[in-house]
């Protein structure tokens, strides 16, 4: 028997004859890798684009250091971004060096035509850092994340023009680079939104993880925002959207079909991905396994604590 779906797009399954409830998650965001592959296919970023971009890699690479320097000189000169970075009185040298290193790595991988899933995850994490989830906890509004992509497109065009690259080559290459920048922007915004969602709520619950999960996410605990009365499953949804790398360790996915009539009365089928816990994984609320709690005991308050235990713990 499947309980009616809740507003936050999660559902609880109770299997007849079983002493425990097997929880489900629905409506999780696509993983960074899935978004990357899907958007690249949608943008039709193909071999023709790559050949055109390859013809412009050398002049862009020659100007790479100048692009990095000019980018941060502009951020320091623009009053709003200077204030956000704490640079109104001039850039902090150590902070500036950190930012330049990040940008240099991004530019090198971009000019190297890196379309790997590792780069997708790197950009996803970069988006989280821009949402204030980095070491310095600086939140850069998405307005400037989007704007920076536009500025970089303009910078590429300027460099190619100044290098005397043929106009037809420029046009073909810039069409490809624009697709690449859109792909990168989407990955950063997906990470950015996952970070904002993690904080959303009137209070926070602490989530502690154990076993290999600690090395997968790089920490042993974190706080996740909730509104009083929200379900444990809403916290898990935020957790797995923020740490998609943890999904394959804890969850198994399956596709579930639902049949209904469309607006004209014609039969219609929709397919939805559902996630269930792998054998042995347990979610504890205040020390009690939620699989043995009634559904109304899954609703949380700020003083509650959750723990995610692997098999055998």
Cβ burial, residue 151 (10 Å; 0-12/13-18/19+): middle
Domains and CATH numbers, the chain: 32-195 (1.10.490.10), 200-309 (3.10.20.30)
Mean pLDDT score, 244-249 = 96
Per-residue pLDDT band at 11 (split at 50, 70, 90): very low
pLDDT score, position 17 = 44
* Cα(313)–Cα(310) distance, integer angstroms: 6
Strand bridging mode 22-26 / 305-309 = unpaired
Mean pLDDT of the chain: 91
Share of the chain above pLDDT 70, in %: 93
Return the closest-CA partner of residue 285 out of 263, 303, 260.
303
Please give the model's pTM, rounded to 2 decimal places: 0.89
Task: Taking each helix axis as running N to C, give the angle between helix 64-77 and helix 142-162, from 0 to 180 degrees, rounded to the nearest 10.
Answer: 140
What is the per-residue pLDDT across 72-86, written as a single tens digit (0 to 9) for each? 999 999 999 999 999
Q: Where are the alpha helices (DSSP H) in 200-308?
A: 212-217, 232-242, 247-250
How many percent of the chain have pLDDT more than 90?
A: 82
d(CA 268, CA 86): 55
Average pLDDT over residues 128-151: 96
Dump pLDDT digits (tens) for 192-243: 999 999 999 999 999 999 999 999 999 999 999 999 999 999 999 999 999 9
Residue 275 has pLDDT above 80, yes or no: yes
Nearest to residue 175, comparing CAs of 50, 61, 59? 50
- pLDDT at res. 19: 65
Is the pLDDT confidence value at 296 over 90? no
């Amino acid at each position: 028997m499947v309980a009616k779906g809740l507003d936050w797009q999660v559902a609880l399954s109770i299997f007849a004859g079983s002493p425990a409830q097997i929880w489900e998650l629905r409506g999780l965001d696509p993983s960074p890798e899935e978004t990357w592959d899907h958007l690249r296919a949608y943008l039709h970023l193909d071999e023709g684009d790559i050949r055109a971009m390859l013809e412009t890699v050398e002049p862009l690479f020659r100007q790479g250091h100048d692009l990095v320097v000019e980018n941060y000189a502009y951020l320091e000169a623009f009053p709003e971004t200077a204030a956000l970075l704490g640079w109104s009185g001039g850039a902090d040298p150590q902070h500036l060096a950190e930012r330049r290193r990040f940008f240099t790595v991004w530019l090198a991988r971009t000019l190297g035509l890196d379309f790997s899933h590792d780069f997708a995850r790197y950009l996803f994490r970069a988006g989280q850092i821009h949402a204030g989830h980095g070491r310095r906890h600086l939140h850069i509004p998405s307005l400037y994340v989007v704007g920076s992509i536009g500025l970089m497109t303009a910078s590429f065009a300027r460099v190619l023009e100044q290098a005397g690259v043929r106009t037809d080559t420029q046009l073909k290459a810039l069409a490809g680079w624009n697709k690449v920048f859109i792909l990168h922007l989407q990955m950063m915004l997906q990470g950015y939104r996952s970070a904002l969602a993690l904080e959303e709520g009137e209070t926070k619950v602490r989530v502690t993880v154990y076993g290999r999960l600690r090395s997968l996410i790089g920490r042993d605990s974190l706080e996740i925002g909730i509104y009083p009365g929200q379900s444990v499953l809403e916290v898990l949804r935020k957790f797995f959207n923020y740490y998609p790398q943890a999904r394959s360790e804890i969850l198994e996915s399956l596709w579930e079909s639902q049949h209904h009539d469309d607006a004209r009365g014609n039969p219609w089928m929709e397919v939805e991905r559902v996630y269930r816990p792998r054998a042995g994984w347990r979610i504890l609320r205040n020390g009690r396994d939620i699989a043995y709690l009634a559904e109304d005991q899954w609703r949380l308050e700020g003083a509650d604590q959750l723990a995610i235990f692997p098999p055998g713990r």
